[in-house]
Amino acid sequence: MSDSSNAPVAIEAAGLADFVAGALGREPAGQIAVVELGDPLRVYLADIPEGRHGSARSSAFARAFIGDIAGMRATGRGQRDVALLIYARDGHGLKDVRPYNALWLNLLVVCKQRGLNVVASQFIIPTQWWGLPSIGETGPGTPRAAARQTADGGPAVGAKGVADVVADAVRAFARELEAGHEAAKRSLKPLLAAVLTGRRDVEDLSDQEAVRLLLAVQNGDILYAASTYCEPEEVKRAAPLWSRVARLCVDPYRRMAAAPLTLLGIALLLDGDVPAAAGAAFLALEVKPGDEEAQVLLGLVFRAELEQVVRAPVSVAEALRAALREDREE
């Protein structure tokens, strides 16, 4: 790990990635920069660990790296605000973001545990950056070079645009519910099944379809039905789906994110990524304190963490998958 100190400077989120690269005199590809936004501002660097980013090795890396930072004297008074900047390895782009997102969740969880307040999280390549999926992020993010397009071929979506999409879908869905509640619910199950069984790609979903899934899983029955897609390949599709759906929850729809975040956490737990599942559960409870489903997920996460310590013979993930599989078959 290395660090560098600089004179106090006010930096907007859109300028963080370029500021760090400029301060270092290079693009720190394959590294993580933690920027402590104090007085003075300080930058800590570490190489991204090799191997699967959601692995136990990655979790140990996050504890060591963030623990070292938390143990240093704060650069300001009061709350310690930091930004997490993940610079992709050479040749990687937005299509490769999933393992980096798992690494980010490990870092986020440890930051919360060590009293560091994460105010910005970014996935960065030399020409663009994207906000990692924390609540309030609105999609692919702001391109670092204004003349360049975002990964979807168009300008980045602003928070107001996302809120408008959600509002339109809420109104349309409300009209469907008035016309026939059960019929409206049933109409969404085929879409959910198509995505999680691989007949539709997550990337092909329109924002309107993603919002309909967001609205659907606010219903407890559909939320539970969504969790029963628990087979290994279904789980790998579920994680990017629910991550995308949660990112739609900008104000005033922030609390709605608890449901997709809980489903994201279930998928991550079933995939064996306990730290990332914890991160999703903590985020769900942050946006909706006391949410029952998120609390159940967090309980399973704690059991899984204990299982790793005592090497229990029965895996929490295996037991959960068996229970969900049985309910799906009924």
Query: With 0-12 CB in 10 A as exposed, 13-18 as middle and 19+ as buried, what is 104?
Result: buried
pLDDT tens digits for 226-249?
A: 999 999 899 989 988 998 888 888
Q: Which of 151 and 77 is assigned the larger pLDDT?
A: 77
**Distance of alpha carbon 34 from its chain centroid, rounded?**
18
**Plot region of 136 (φ>0 → left; ψ -120 to 50 → alpha; else → beta):** left
pLDDT band for 54, please (50, 70, 90 cuts): very low
- Cα distances from 249 to residues 166, 233, 279, 288, in angstroms, run 8, 26, 17, 12
Is the model more confident about 210 or about 149?
210
pLDDT in tens, 55-111: 556 778 888 999 999 998 887 777 889 999 999 999 888 777 777 877 887 888 888
pLDDT at residue 153 above 70? no
Residue 138 predicted with pLDDT over 50: no
pLDDT (0 to 100) of residue 311: 62
pLDDT of residue 143: 38
Give this prediction's pTM.
Answer: 0.60
Average pLDDT of the residues in 32-47: 90
- Report pLDDT for 169: 76
